[in-house]
Amino acid sequence: MRGAGRRGQSDAVPRIGWKARARQAAVPLSIQPYRMHFFARMLSWTGSAVAPIGLAFAVFHIDGGPGALGLVLAAGMIPQILLLLIGGVVADRWSRARVMVWANVVCCVAESLAALLLWSGHARVWHLAAMSMVCGAASAFFTPAAGGVVVDVVPAEMRHTANALLKIGQNTVKVGGPALGGFLVAVAGPAWVIGWDALTFAVAAVLCARIGLTSGRVKVKTGFVADLRDGWRDFWSRRWLWVMVIQGSVIVPAWLVGYQALGPVYGERFLGGPALWGVVVSGFTGGLIAGAAMSLMWKPRLVGVVVCAGTGGMSLPLAAMAVRAPLPVVVVAAALAGAGLAVSMTSWASVVQARIPADRLSRTTSYSTLGQLLPVPIGYAAVGPLVAVLGLRGTLAAGALLIVCAAVVPLALAQVRSITAPVPEGADGSLVTSAARAPR
């Protein structure tokens, strides 16, 4: 914008109409590396949307019960937790695109072998657990690398839109993925579903290879352990960041316990079965898509406040279920939760990319991700005892209250309230952020 860099106007937010924003929404896709990244992620999400259904029925197909399925799922989460910090260092040391390529290749090989064993009738539960473990380890390297690619390939003023497009793609796939997975299992069997997931990993690897990032872009000369320490110091020095990670470490397990673990139980007891619970899930995924689309049109200024409000909205469906609200109310509550979550995640990603230097982004965010993953197994383990003490609706009410408290408390800190969106400034497209001027 002309004159945006004049004195006294550095904090002005450019006024752009919704029609102009709509035209600008597809601009990041004109950048070839981002386009390759976008379609690679879309393919990966397509496979990931159907894979859990195929994996569950594959375990049941070889006479494994719920305990065996839990073992297979745990086998995928444990290496991800253990290796995530190492993955962050690797993603900062080498080409992030190359890390993504090899992570996709490893998952493709592991799932191809599992599919072949299922087709041949020789598969055992431990085979599927090993496949899950390998893919979980690969994910520990893929996630930090993928989180930094947008910074590497998209100009700063386009990153919010680029993040919103990725979120729209991810959430759109979530709508039809589980239904498609169930259909494929019924028609072709679980082996074909896992084989399809392996194919998506293979094609995604090819697309990631075309992103074209070189390892010379990020130069790290220190030792591996020193890199881990540097990532921790960078993470801990940013109070606004670790406070919000603590918030997430409370909200994420409370949400997963209340919505993913107890939601289907509530649907069975009070809604009349899985079909009507599926309506609630559709409401949530519809809200995710609507929220991501809203992020294309609206770039909130007070990101800290918006993130806290959006994550606090995740309490709505849990509270609605706790008071046995009518089904339409639960569906609307789930849709509002999905929309708020999508807006907050998109805005948060843009701020983190603007505030954290590119050469430390993957390491620092890996600590953030780990902080939110660690309490999840504890939350799942606590489901049974909590329901035994509080009952189903009491546990849902406690989860809703916990989410609200975790969402509100960080707003007491000025550093959280002052988290603002990056503001484009100057005719040359340079970027000045008020976030950079705020205390760390």
pLDDT for the residue numbered 64 = 63
Per-residue model confidence as pLDDT tens digits over 318-339: 999 999 999 999 999 999 999 9
Q: Which of 7-11, 25-29, 69-73, 164-168 has the highest mean pLDDT?
A: 164-168
Per-residue model confidence as pLDDT tens digits over 334-392: 999 999 998 988 888 888 877 888 777 777 878 888 888 888 777 877 877 888 889 88
Asked if 398 and 390 count as a contact pair (C-beta separation under 8 A), the reply is yes
pLDDT bucket at 314, cuts 50 / 70 / 90: very high
Long-range contacts of 67-74 (CB under 8 A, 24+ apart): 68/125, 71/125, 71/129, 72/125, 72/128, 72/129, 72/132, 73/132, 74/377
Helix (H) or strand (E) holding 434: helix 434-437
Per-residue model confidence as pLDDT tens digits over 217-233: 444 456 667 777 777 88
pLDDT for the residue numbered 339 = 92
Classified as helix, coil or strand, 369 is helix
Give me 342's structure tokens: 């999508």
> What value does the mean pLDDT of the chain take?
79
Interaxial angle between packed helices 125-153 and 32-61, expressed in degrees from 0 to 180 and rounded to the nearest 10: 170
pLDDT for the residue numbered 221 = 53
Backbone angles phi, psi at 433, to 5 degrees: -115, 140
Give me 47's structure tokens: 């496979």
User: Mean pLDDT over residues 7-36, rounded?
Assistant: 59
User: Mean pLDDT over residues 151-175, rounded?
Assistant: 79
pLDDT for the residue numbered 20 = 52
Give me 240's structure tokens: 């606004």
User: Mean pLDDT over residues 50-60, rounded?
Assistant: 77
pTM > 0.75: yes or no: no
- Determine the Cα–Cα distance for residues 267 and 276; give it in Å rounded to an integer: 7
Per-residue model confidence as pLDDT tens digits over 392-429: 899 999 999 999 999 999 998 888 888 887 654 333 33
